[in-house]
Structure 1
Amino acid sequence: MTAPSSSPRGRFATLSVEHASTVSRVAAELRRAVFEGELESGTPLREIALAESLGVSRPTVREALSVLVAEGLATREPHRGVAVATPRAESVRDVCRARWVLEGAGVQAWAGADDVRRQRVRDTLEAYTSAVRGGRASYEELNERHLSFHVSLVELTGSPRLVQMAEALMDELKLALAQVDRIRRNAHDEAESHEGLVTLLEAGRIDGPGGASEFLRQHIADAEVEVIDALGLE
C-alpha cells in the first residue's frame, strides 16, 4: 500500500481555489459590464480579446462565459460563439404570462401563508426599496433585489417547485429589466408600486376591484409593455 504523499504539493494537489476564484472574478466583471450597459445586447464576447483585456487565460474566459450563459445573460450559438443575450418580444410576453400565474397564486395564498413566508415578502420589499432610495446600489444589485421580491410572492404558495419555476423565469427577464431601469430610471416608481401591493396584502384586500390580485395583474401587464417599448423589441 502506497503511503500518502507528505509533501505540501502532493497533499493539496487537487485544490484549485485560485483558479475558481479567477473564473468567478471574470464572470463578476462581465456581469457588471452587462448590467451597467458597457456591453449591450448582441455584443460578441470574444475569448481572445477578453483574455487580453482582463489579463487572464482563454480557458478562464471560456469558463466565465459559460457561467453567464447558464445565468441567461449570454447566449452561445454554433459557429458564432458567445454574445450578450438579446431579449425577444414574444419571450417577454410569455414570461410575463407565466409570472402572472405563479405570482398570482402567491397573492391568493397570502391569507393562508405562515408568518415566515409573509415576513420574507416584507423583508425583500425592504431590501429593494432601501437600495432604491439609498441611491448607491448598482443596476445589478437593484435587479437582484427587485426580482427577489417577486420570487418571495411565489414562496407564499409553499411550493418549492413553483419557486424554482419563478426563479427560472426571473433569469430570463433580468437582463431586459436591467436595461429598462437604465433607460427609464424609474426605480423609485417601481419601489412605490411594490409597496402599494404589499399594503393591499397586509389589509387583506386580495380580490375584487382595487385588490392585490388586480393590482399585480396590471403591474405585470405594464411591465411587459414597458420592456417591449423601451427596448424597441419586435
Structure 2
Amino acid sequence: MYDDLALEHSSTVDRAADEIRRALFAGRLTPGTPLREVGLSAAMGVGRSTVREALALLVAEGLAVRVPNRGVAVKQLTADDVHDVSRARAALESAGVRRWDEASESERQRVRDALTRYAAVASESGDPAALTHAHLRVHQALVGLSGSERLSSTADVLSSEIRLGLAHLDRIRANVAEQVAEHRALVARLEAGDVEGTLRQLDDHLSAAERSLLDATGHATITS
C-alpha cells in the first residue's frame, strides 16, 4: 500500500514538472521569471510540496535556478554562459566528427536516426519542446561518435544549459526547414568521408548558433 502511494506521489510531481516545462518551452514563462510555489500550486491544483519537488527537478535539469532569498526562477543565460557553452559544444562535437571513420556502425546510425527524427518533428510537430529535443539529439549523436561516455555525459549537461535559449530560437525561427537542410548537409558530408569539410561546416554552424543565441537572450553579439 505504501509503495503505491509513493509511486502516485512521484507521478504527480513528474506531471507538475512536465506542465511547468511545457510553459517554459512555449515561452509562457520567460527567462528570469520567478517560479512561485503558491501561484503554481493554485494554477495546477496540487500541493506546495509537490510544486517544491517539481521545481527541484527543473533546477537539477538546469532549466531553473535558486536565487538567494528569492526562491526559484527560470534560468537566464548570460553572455558569458553562451560563449562558454558554445566553445565547449564545439570541442565535444568536433571530437566526435573527427572519429567518424573509427566510429562503430551503431554510433553512426544514431546520427542518422537523430537527423531523421529531427526532420520528422520539424515537419509535423508544433511542440517547441519536442523540436528542441530533436534538434539537440542530432548534436548529442555527433558527440556520441567519440565513443566516450564521459564526453556524451558532458554534452548532456551542456544541452540542459542551452535548452531554453535554443527553444526560444526554435520558436521564432521562420527557417526551420533550412535548419534541417543544414544538418542534413553536414551529415551528408560525413557520410561522404569529408571530415575536414564537416569540421569547417560545424564550426560555421555553431558560430552562427552562438550569435543567434546571444541575440535571442538579449545580449549584443561580440565579434573577435
In the alignment, does 2:210 pair up with 1:224? Answer: yes
Mapped to 2, the partners of 1:39 and 1:59 lie a distance apart of 21
Mapped to 2, the partners of 1:125 and 1:229 lie a distance apart of 26
State the SS of the aligned residue for 1:83: strand
Q: Give the corresponding residue for 2:131.
A: 142
Mapped to 1, the partners of 2:2 and 2:55 lie a distance apart of 26
In the alignment, does 2:13 pair up with 1:27? Answer: no
**How far did residue 21 of structure 1 move?**
0.8
After the TM superposition, which parts of structure 1 deviate over 4 Å for at least 4 consecutive aligned residues?
none
The answer to whether the 8 A contact 1:180-1:231 is kept is no
Mapped to 2, the partners of 1:107 and 1:14 lie a distance apart of 46
Identity %: 47
- Aligned pair count reads 219
Q: Give the corresponding residue for 1:169.
A: 158
**How far did residue 180 of structure 1 move?**
1.4
Give the aligned CA root-mean-square deviation in angstroms.
1.0
In the alignment, does 2:47 pair up with 1:61? Answer: no
1:170 maps to amino acid: S
* Alignment match of 2:37 (pick from 42, 47, 52): 47
> Whose helix proportion is higher, 1 or 2?
2
CA displacement 1:159-206 (0-9 Å, x = unmatched): 000101111111111111001122223322211110010010010011
TM-score w.r.t. the length of structure 2 is 0.95
Q: CA 1:127–1:72 in structure 2 vs 1: closer, same or farther (change >3 Å)?
A: same
State the SS of the aligned residue for 1:94: helix
2:112 maps to amino acid: R
In the alignment, does 2:169 pair up with 1:183? Answer: no
- Please tell me whether Structure 1 or Structure 2 has the larger radius of gyration of its CA atoms: 1
State the SS of the aligned residue for 1:142: helix
Q: CA 1:19–1:84 in structure 2 vs 1: closer, same or farther (change >3 Å)?
A: same
The answer to whether the 8 A contact 1:87-1:233 is kept is no
State the SS of the aligned residue for 2:73: strand
1:105 maps to amino acid: A
Q: Give the corresponding residue for 2:193.
A: 204
